[in-house]
Amino acid sequence: MFQYRLATSVQEAVELLAANGDEAKVLAGGQSLVPLINLGLAQPGLLVDINGIPGLDGIQTVNGSLAVGALVRHAVAEQSETIRQACPLLAEAIPLIGDRQVRNRGTMGGSIAHADPVAELPTVAVCLDAKMRVEGANGSRDVPASDFFVTYLTTAIEPAELLTAVWFPVSTPSTGVSFQELVRRKGDFAIVAAAAAIELAADGTCRKVNLALAGVAPTPIRATAAENMLRGQAPSPDLVRRAAAAAASADNVDPESDVMASADYRRAMAEVYARRALTEAVGRATPGR
C-alpha cells in the first residue's frame, strides 16, 4: 500500500521527494513505474504525481537547442513539427517507442529518467550529447548525457531531485541521421540499437560524427573509436564498414547474455546495425559550407 500526492509545482514535488527519500517515486506517464509495481519489483511508500505541474509539457527551440519538457507525451512529440525540424534523429526514434497506447501516456522525461539501456530516448540523448535539466532544493543543474546515465536503470538524479526538461542540440541542414534497432516485433524492447548523426563538410568529408550503441552495455554508449575513424574523412563504404567493426569491438562494448540473445549475438548485431545507421546517415547528409 502506498500514499498518493498530486504536486502542483516543482517546489512541492521536490519537497515531497526530500521528505520521503527512497520511499518516494515520481509518477508521470506511469508506463515504466506501474508495471514494476504490478510485478512487485517496486514498492514505493509514496507516489508523487507531477502531472499537475504547469510548464513541463512545452516544446521549443532556444539559442540553438531544442527544449523538451519532461511531461511531453510521446504521442505529442511524435506529431511535433518543431522536433521534426530541429532534431530529426529524435523524431525518427519516437515512433519506435512501445505501441500507440504506451506513446499516448508515456512521457519524454519518464523514459529518460527510467534509463532502460535499450530504450530509444536514452540512446538518442547519448548520441547527441543532450543535457538533462534537473531541479532540486538548491536550484537547477544541467547534466550531460555522458554523466546522467550511470548504470542499468540508474541515473545521476538525486532522491530529492526532479527531471524537468531535456535539451537536444539543433541539427544543421547538412546533417544526416539514422536510428536502427533490432526487435523481434514492432514495439518490443530492442536487442541492440544504433543511432547516428553525421554532418558533412562542403568537400564531402565528415565534419561531425555521432554514433551511439544500445544493448551492449549497462547504459547506451558512444562509439568514439568509430567516430574518430570517420571524422575528417570521406565516408566510403569500406571506411564505414571498418568503423562499424571498430564500434562493436571497443572496450566499452560488454554485452550480456539473456533470454533474448547471447552476448556474442549482440556484439555481432551491434556491428551490423552500426553499419546500417552510419550508411543511412551518410546517405541522408547534404554537404554544407
DSSP letters along 148-208, please? HEEETTEES--TT-EEEEEEEEPPPTTEEEEEEEE-SSTTSPPSEEEEEEEEE-TTSSEEE
What local confidence, expressed as pLDDT, does residue 187 receive? 85
1 vs 234: which has the higher pLDDT: 234
Fold of 3-49: 3.30.43
Q: What is the pLDDT of residues 142-195, one digit of tens each?
A: 999 999 999 999 999 999 999 999 999 999 999 999 999 999 998 899 999 999
Compute the mean pLDDT over every residue in the chain, rounded to the nearest whole number: 96
**pLDDT above 70 as % of the chain:** 100
Residue of 123, 144, 148 whose CA lies nearest to 222: 123
256-264: list long-range contacts, CB under 8 Å, 24+ apart.
260/184, 260/189, 260/191, 261/191, 261/192
What local confidence, expressed as pLDDT, does residue 289 receive? 62
Domain spanning 175-284: CATH 2.60.40.10: no
Phi and psi of 260, rounded to 5°?
Answer: -85, -40
Average of per-residue pLDDT across 3-31: 95
Reported as a pLDDT band with limits 50, 70 and 90, residue 242 is very high
Q: What is the pLDDT of residues 182-228, one digit of tens each?
A: 999 988 999 999 999 999 999 999 999 999 999 999 999 999 999 99
Q: Quick check: 39 pLDDT over 90? A: no
The model's pTM: 0.96
Q: Quick check: 51 pLDDT over 80? A: yes
Q: What is the CATH number of domain 59-169?
A: 3.30.465.10
| Domains in the chain: boundaries | 3-49, 59-169, 175-284
